[in-house]
Amino acid sequence: MVASGSYSAAARVLGYTQPAITQQMKALERAVGTPLFTRVGRKMKLTEAGESLARHAESILGSLSAAEAQLKAYTRLRTGRVRVCGFPSANVTLVPEALSGLAKDHPGVQVELLEGEPPESLRRLQRGECDITLAFTYPGLHEEIPEEVTEVRLLEDQLTVLLPTGHPLARRRAVHLADLAEEQWIAGCPRCRANLLHECAELGFVPDIRFATDDNLVVQSLVAQGLGVAMMPALVLPSLSLNRVCGRVLEPAARRHIAAYVYRDHLRIPATAVVLDELKRVASNRVGC
């Protein structure tokens, strides 16, 4: 109407009848409480109020068009932001591999990487601070999660013992946990420490824990200096950065369960779903999954 200069011309452009256009304009003027057009000869000219409304209309229509384009990008997986909270050993193994696959196949999907040990990482999910959280549990330990949260099992992670390379037991392929009863120990996060105490108690001894840290690099450094041995998940072994430590399989065999947690409704968000699929793909390629 603004560009065409008359009701009849606007009707032809829009595919409506001229009376329908006239009726809509009159209704709009009644709604705003002031005339929007005035006739100048055969043309319709915007009043001051009409010019103001037209400017806002252009802005609104432009925003709607941009919003529509952005929503189409989301649904077609060209873009999207997903917040992933992982525990340290997952963030140096599973997550980077998944991000590499995403960068290749879905470059518009952006991932914000957060870090947290369970159960705090699960609480972050419930507080809305992340979209996907990765967590691990040990046999006999079950997560308490809301009904609306879905657990997606990723893999079973073999537990190993981290030894200095000069340790007498380092020559073995596997080490029995009972043979380490007299060793000094370096414990990990509270959940890992609790599992260490449980595993040792099952064999009738209490480990002599001298240090505790959830930083895997610190654990490696302490072991390298001969300050103790550590129970370490196999997921960490590929990231060992020191040549003075080695990992050996523990006997009896023990594993931890690794899973992703996501709100069920978020599975319908394409970007979230594709990140989760990539995590599952990476996990399936690992031994013991």
pLDDT confidence of residue 72? 52
List of the chain residues with pLDDT < 70: 1-22, 24-25, 28-29, 31-32, 34, 36-79, 241-242, 287-289
pLDDT confidence of residue 222? 95
Helix residue spans in 158-227 (DSSP H): 190-202, 216-224
Alpha carbon dihedral 231, 234, 237, 243, in 10-degree steps, equals 50
pLDDT confidence of residue 73? 46
Handedness of CA 79, 83, 88, 89 (dihedral sign): negative
Q: Cα–Cα distance between 217 and 188 in angstroms, integer?
A: 11
pLDDT confidence of residue 161? 96
- Other beta carbons within 10 Å of 265: 10
Report angle CA 130, 152, 85 to the nearest 5 degrees: 25
pLDDT confidence of residue 3? 46
Read off the tokens for 197.
Answer: 């105490």
Whose CA is closest to 159, among 266, 56, 248? 248
Per the CB < 8 A criterion, the answer to whether 113 and 275 are in contact is: no
Q: Cα–Cα distance between 184 and 219 in angstroms, integer?
A: 13
- Rounded to the nearest integer, the mean pLDDT of the chain is 82
Specify the length of the chain in residues: 289
Residue 15, C-beta contacts closer than 8 angstroms, at least 6 positions apart = none
Let me know if 48 is exposed, middle or buried by CB neighbors in 10 A (0-12, 13-18, 19+): exposed
pLDDT confidence of residue 57? 58
pLDDT confidence of residue 67? 55
pLDDT confidence of residue 250? 92
pLDDT confidence of residue 289? 35
pLDDT confidence of residue 243? 80
pLDDT confidence of residue 30? 75
pLDDT confidence of residue 195? 94
pLDDT confidence of residue 54? 64
| E-only strand ranges, 132-206 | 132-137, 149-164, 174-176, 184-187
Whose CA is closest to 176, among 105, 140, 229? 229
pTM of the model: 0.70
Residue 185, C-beta contacts closer than 8 angstroms, at least 6 positions apart = 196, 207, 208, 209, 210, 228, 229, 230, 231
Q: Cα–Cα distance between 124 and 105 in angstroms, integer?
A: 28
Per the CB < 8 A criterion, the answer to whether 250 and 161 are in contact is: yes
